[in-house]
Amino acid sequence: MKKIVILIPVFNDWDSLKKLIFELNHCVANFSDFLFDCIVINDASTISKPKLEKPKNFTSLKIFNMKTNKGHARCNAFGINYINKNFEFDYIILMDGDGEDRPIEIKSFINEIKKNPENSIVAKRIKRSEGPFFRFLYIIHKLITLVFTGKKINFGNYSCLIKKDVQMISDKASLWSSYSGTVKKFLEHLGEIDSIRGERYFGPSKMSLYKLVLHSFAIIAVFKYRALTTSILVVLALSYFNSYLGFISLFFQAGTVLFIVLIFLVSLREKKQDLLNCQENLKNIEEISH
């Protein structure tokens, strides 16, 4: 029987987590040929967690309490690294704990696993729930990412990794900064399911403009040398038009140089030693038994 570990980072959003676990329990009820463990990474929440109960369709529910807040991406990196070293498993499903990754789509992951058990799977976003301005910015993010990385990255954290691929990326420095960029760079064969971005169970979205820009830059930073080459070509191409466009050409040249400098600065977030030592931030593990 195959084991799936569902990995969920949480910071203060306990009401959403309770609802998510309740819905996940129903979604996995008919898959008796799989075992399901759930690991929640408590990212040093400042709000006390409520009483939680282990869902009957899960073999275990564990809360990993962290000493200091590291952020969503690094919770995922810690979880992948820790599970790889300490757990027996066949698949890891990563998902947000706020409802934006819809639990109903777990069924699509499992059905895809049954058809292609040797491929990791990503949730391709075909529809988003945010307003038109944010959706426009997200399109710009995907376009810039494609231009500077040569990769079409149309997925976030919501994904299902096979054990071999977990082992492949668990010690990559870039995992500490960008999960989706790391997956796209190091994993060759990726299946896809269609995914609709859900609405948060409680409260407004936590994805600010700053976080979107940082997220975009972190992905590109995984491919920084490819981005550097593209930037050089852009600057050279623009220099050809200096006599025709004048200030406009110079403006975009300067913007391109600033952009690639920022990409290399963001790449400094990729710290392999911090990833390898991430267990030092683990305070304790709670087993929710009933």
Range of the domain at 218: 2-223+265-288
Amino acid at 258: L
Q: What pLDDT was estimated at residue 206?
A: 66
Number of domains in the chain: 1
Q: Give the confidence band of 130 by pLDDT, cuts at 50, 70, 90.
A: low
Q: What pLDDT was estimated at residue 170?
A: 96
CATH number at residue 166: 3.90.550.10
User: Can you give the three-state secondary structure of the chain, one letter per residue?
Assistant: CEEEEEEEEECCCHHHHHHHHHHHHHHCCCCCCEEEEEEEEECCCCCCCCCCCCCCCCCEEEEEEECCCCCHHHHHHHHHHHHHHHCCCCEEEECCCCCCCCHHHHHHHHHHHHHCCCCEEEEEEEECCCCHHHHHHHHHHHHHHHHHHCCCCCCCCCEEEEHHHHHHHCCCHHHHCCHHHHHHHHCCCEEEEEEECCCCCCCCCCCCHHHHHHHHHHHHHHCHHHHHHHHHHHHHHHHHCHHHHCHHHHHHHHHHHHHHHHHHHHHHHCCHHHHHCHHHHEEEEEEECC
Q: Tell me the C-alpha distance between 287 and 290, whole Å.
A: 9
> Cα separations (Å) of 117 from 54, 134, 148, 253, 263?
27, 35, 32, 47, 36
Q: What pLDDT was estimated at residue 190?
A: 93
Whether 222 contacts 185, CB under 8 Å: yes
Whether 200 contacts 100, CB under 8 Å: yes
Q: Is residue 260 part of a domain?
A: no
Q: Is residue 240 part of a domain?
A: no
Q: Is residue 59 part of a domain?
A: yes
Lowest mean pLDDT among 70-84, 102-116, 119-133: 119-133
Express each pLDDT in 187-224 by its tens digit: 988 999 999 888 888 877 666 677 778 889 999 999 99
User: What does pLDDT average to over the chain?
Assistant: 91
Q: Is residue 255 part of a domain?
A: no
Q: Is residue 119 part of a domain?
A: yes
Q: What pLDDT was estimated at residue 163?
A: 97
pTM tops 0.85, yes or no:
yes
Q: Is residue 106 part of a domain?
A: yes
Q: What pLDDT was estimated at residue 96?
A: 93
Q: Tell me the C-alpha distance between 135 and 131, whole Å.
A: 6
Count CB neighbours of 67 within 10 A. Answer: 11
Q: Is residue 193 part of a domain?
A: yes
Amino acid at 240: Y
Express each pLDDT in 1-13 by its tens digit: 899 999 999 999 9
Q: Is residue 247 part of a domain?
A: no
The mean pLDDT value for 21-39 works out to: 93
The mean pLDDT value for 107-133 works out to: 86
Lowest mean pLDDT among 130-139, 162-171, 254-263, 269-278: 130-139
Express each pLDDT in 239-250 by its tens digit: 887 777 777 888
Q: Give the confidence band of 23 by pLDDT, cuts at 50, 70, 90.
A: very high
> Cα separations (Å) of 276 from 165, 169, 170, 273, 280?
17, 12, 9, 5, 9
Going by C-alpha positions, the residue among 199, 204, 207, 206 that lies closest to residue 99 is 199
